[in-house]
Amino acid sequence: MPALRYHSAPARRRRLAIALLCALVAPALTAAAQQRPAPFETLDLSFELLADIHQGRLHRDWSPGPALGIGLAFPFYLGNLELGVQLARPSARQASLPDFRSLFVYVGWSGTRELGRQLRAEAGLRAGIVGLSFDADNVPAFRQHESEPAVTARGALHWTPRDRWFTEAAVAWHSVFTEPRIEQIFLSAGVGRRFRTPTWLRDFLD
């Protein structure tokens, strides 16, 4: 019995400390949860124009030109779940090389931090497949279409001047695992709108 009484006092103190910690932390967690939508409650549809500013291997032989990105982002349990595509059409600088089209299909995750009432920062990773289609008759048929894995690390600033509309500016490092590897650095600007996720889609995602 004395031993039980001896160990029961620290146990009561631990329970009291845990209860006090929960009482302090719970309001903060509740406030944070109230500041963002529930998982898949909303979807952000965005369009962006990208410019490759990296003077690397690709630029020596091709002019990358602008790229177009279309993306969807859903609030997730932690951060945001992203789905999207990025389309580009580099043109050859030499007559002996073919022009080609690239389509990057990706899934990603990003975290956000509020910087003000209408401004937030975002950083995340994307991974997917890049499909390459070469426009040349002198390229063997089995090499006219290729698919390669790719990853992107991206940081962005979002400004929401109106309740549902937003603009964004971003910088991204993009790497395609070809041989030799294609590496690009994109600057982009875009516009988007937030929608409430349709019930059927939310049920499917949940």
The 10 Å CB-count burial string (b at 16+, else e) for 124-145 is bebebebebebeeeeeeeeeee
pLDDT in tens, 46-56: 999 999 998 88
Q: Determine the pLDDT at residue 17.
A: 53
Considering the entire predicted model, what is its pTM?
A: 0.78
Please name the amino acid found at residue 95. Answer: A
Residues in Cβ contact with 80 at an 8 Å cutoff, skipping those fewer than 6 apart? 73, 74, 109, 110, 111, 112, 122, 124
Six token digits for residue 166: 């937003």
Q: What is the pLDDT of residue 16?
A: 55
Give pLDDT, residue 18: 55
Q: Is 152 in contact with 170 (CB distance < 8 Å)?
A: no
Do 151 and 126 form a contact (C-beta atoms < 8 A)? yes
CB 70 within 8 A of CB 85: yes
Residues 142-201 have pLDDT tens digits of: 677 889 999 999 999 999 998 899 999 999 999 999 888 889 999 999 999 999 988 888
Is pLDDT at 62 greater than 80 in this prediction? yes
d(CA 66, CA 33): 38
E strand residue ranges, 115-164: 119-135, 145-159
Measured CA to CA, the distance from residue 164 to residue 156 in angstroms comes to 18
Query: Residue 20: CA atoms inside 13 Å, Cβ hemisphere, count?
Result: 6
d(CA 65, CA 161): 30
Residue with tokens 């063997």: 140
Tens-digit pLDDT profile for residues 73-126: 999 988 999 999 999 999 988 888 888 999 999 999 999 999 988 999 999 999
> Which two three-digit tokens encode residue 50?
């990208």
